[in-house]
Structure 1
């Protein structure tokens, strides 16, 4: 084979073409097997970094949400242990109605069955008050919205009384955790 190659002589022009062709093939192989994979890997790495940054941001947000829920659960647990053992939402609302001077205006009070919400049971009472003034309503809401007793108003509907313009008819749905 060496003998055959030594017998072949190239002209200057042929040597130029062979050298150019060989250089083109070597350049093509370098680009195909070195540069393109390198650029692909770099682009893939950038995409991966971007995706992982988004995931990290989402995990950080979820961690903050979890910590908030955890703090709220701890607060609820602490408040429940401080509350009287014989506490009922129905009697609490009735007592606060007497305190606000609207006990005689209660048309009805309907306790709902307690539903489980995670580790706690939710107890609620729907009540209707008729012929009360705005001041009486505000006082009553102030008394029943009790963070200490974990009582909150879930829903309220206020209408002007049909008998007199100065009075209101109010439907309150209050709830607490047991």
Structure 2
């Protein structure tokens, strides 16, 4: 069977189109897909690198804070206790007789530092006495801070306040 020139031309064109389509599917598309995957992988790795850099900076800051805390703890007197510190401050602020109770908690914490907590209740104190006492016990040098405070008016004498404080410090 003889094909006409026009039919040969169409068959040749069809073969070229098929070869071109196969070439695109088997050679060019995998290359383009691989390139896209590579770009996505690079973007993901850049995000991971940024996260690692950020975490490294946070770690260095925490390490510096830990060193500062260790230095401050070392500069505190060796016989420092939170209970006696709060008692002395209460004497200076004139609220020692207003202490209803002081409950020390056991030291807790993992790692190089342990947290010591004292809960105390002050009754029938003025606002000025409260502020003066808080100024005395909030001591960055001695690493003492108020964790929680609850203040309300005294039920019997409304010109006075009752307060429950949770005061904490760290020890090594």
TM-score in terms of structure 2 length:
0.92
d(CA) in 1 for partners of 2:45, 2:125:
58
**Is 1:122 paired with 2:115?**
yes
Secondary structure of 1:115's counterpart equals coil
Q: How far 1:26 sits from its partner (Å)?
A: 1.8
Q: How far 1:58 sits from its partner (Å)?
A: 1.9
Secondary structure of 2:109's counterpart equals strand
In our comparison, the structure showing a higher alpha carbon Rg is: 1
**Is 1:93 paired with 2:86?**
yes
Question: Structure 2: where are the runs of 5+ without partners?
Answer: none
Q: How far 1:90 sits from its partner (Å)?
A: 0.3
d(CA) in 1 for partners of 2:160, 2:50:
52
**Is 1:27 paired with 2:9?**
no
Most deviating of 30-39 and 151-160:
30-39
Question: Structure 1: where are the runs of 5+ without partners?
Answer: 1-7
Q: How far 1:43 sits from its partner (Å)?
A: 1.8
Measured on the aligned residues, the alpha-carbon RMSD in Å equals 1.6
- Alignment-derived partner of residue 153 in structure 1: 146
Give the ranges of 4+ consecutive aligned residues of structure 1 lying more than 2 Å apart after TM superposition: 8-11
- Alignment-derived partner of residue 56 in structure 1: 49
**Is 1:81 paired with 2:74?**
yes
Size of the aligned set, in residue pairs, is 171
Q: How far 1:10 sits from its partner (Å)?
A: 4.7
**Is 1:144 paired with 2:134?**
no
Instruction: Give the alignment partner of residue 72 of structure 1, picking from 65, 71, 74.
Output: 65
Instruction: Give the alignment partner of residue 32 of structure 2, picking from 35, 39, 55.
Output: 39
TM-score in terms of structure 1 length:
0.89
Secondary structure of 1:99's counterpart equals helix
Q: How far 1:72 sits from its partner (Å)?
A: 1.4
Q: Structure 1, residues 57-97: CA drift from partner, whole Å, max 9, x if none?
A: 32222122212211211111011111110000000000111
Secondary structure of 1:116's counterpart equals coil
